[in-house]
Structure 1
Amino acid sequence: MSHGITEGNSFAFTTGAYGNRPTFVLTRRRVDDQHEITLYELVPEDIATARQERFDRAQKSVKITVCELSETIIGDHTPSELPGADDTAYDWDGWSGIRIATLRGGAFNEVSFLIESTFRELDLDPEIVCTGDPASVSLTEAAGVRLSIAFRAMKPMRRRDRLRAIAKGVDQMSLGECYYWHAKARSPNSPGGCKALRVLLADHI
């Protein structure tokens, strides 16, 4: 498998590790008169705790933030009731949210390009989380993985041209490449994963 950028925007959305259950939530809020957008990964509580402990043992600078499921969603809903979910009423008892990253300002504006592209593949209206009132959307594993590597890479960046390069570069990646970078970026044993992705896509160290 190539780990560079491939041609074309199309990518397949396949069944994830938990079947068709949504495993990511994207939420836009207004905080201190500014819009911000946060991506959460949804996992069983024991898995979230185990991942948090692995990072703590590794004593890396990156820490895992585990949230109550209700904290990840605008309104009194479950992930099954949000736009983007299928019609199955999954049982969410014992599940938590892991906060991937929060983007605001220029980063929010630039990641909107990738959100729009990803939502088109899912037949979702991107305006749900890009404009209007605060809202949450459930995402499939594949869509969440694609957005997660962009959110992680863009989080510390400020230059608009480099932020834009990250969004466009991730948009052009194959699904296999997204999973590759997702694995590197979320591993406590690979602290340079996000840095390597920023170098690859935006020549940013």
Structure 2
Amino acid sequence: MTAAADRTALTPAETPLKKAAYDRFKQALLQGRLRPGQVVSQKELVALLDMSVGALRELLPRLEAEGLLHVMPKRGIQITSIDLPMIRDAFQMRMALEREAVLSAIRKMPDAVLEAEERRHREILDQLTALGDPPPAFFDAGQDVDSAFHDRLITDTGNDLMIQAYNVNTIRIRLIKLDRIRLTRLTLPSAFADHLAVIAALKARDAAAAILAIETHVRNARDRAIEL
């Protein structure tokens, strides 16, 4: 679970059982057991998620409202597809949220936290240089550092509405990454260079530079996803 997800309390209408059902669906998506664009029956989804029909029926309106699936009467349930409109919308939402997050970080994020983030990024870059042929686990570790940085930016705003919107949008972003923009020897250096530019601007308490850096980073990620 991400730091941002940990920060978010249950909404007034969300019971622990409803949250557990939602988390099962999310994990099925992120583990590839449900694929973007896939059409499944209600019976198949109940079996896959190991939940009751009643629990699934309570969950479906939320998932549909969040744009994670589409219920097609008498035809099944379609998992959201990764297409150009979805990619553009997801990254536009990400840019809006993270622009506000860096403005908050300018005011509130301690230098010690920024320096720790910088060290983590540089350690990964140094390891990449030292390793001739990094194993998949190395890029998984790099992705964890990448995701944790974005999670911290949002979490440290302390704004629960932003955190909830970010958590939903992050599912879409992670699906796009799994499908199109996994970190590799070629993409990791540029992604981490973008992060380091954001961190440098935050350390300098330069709001204009921080906004430019985060917008550049999100735009670069969006463009890599669209190009593939």
Same fold (TM over 0.5): no
Higher strand share: 1
Higher helix share: 2
TM-score, L = length of structure 2: 0.26
TM-score, L = length of structure 1: 0.28
Which one has a bigger Cα radius of gyration?
2
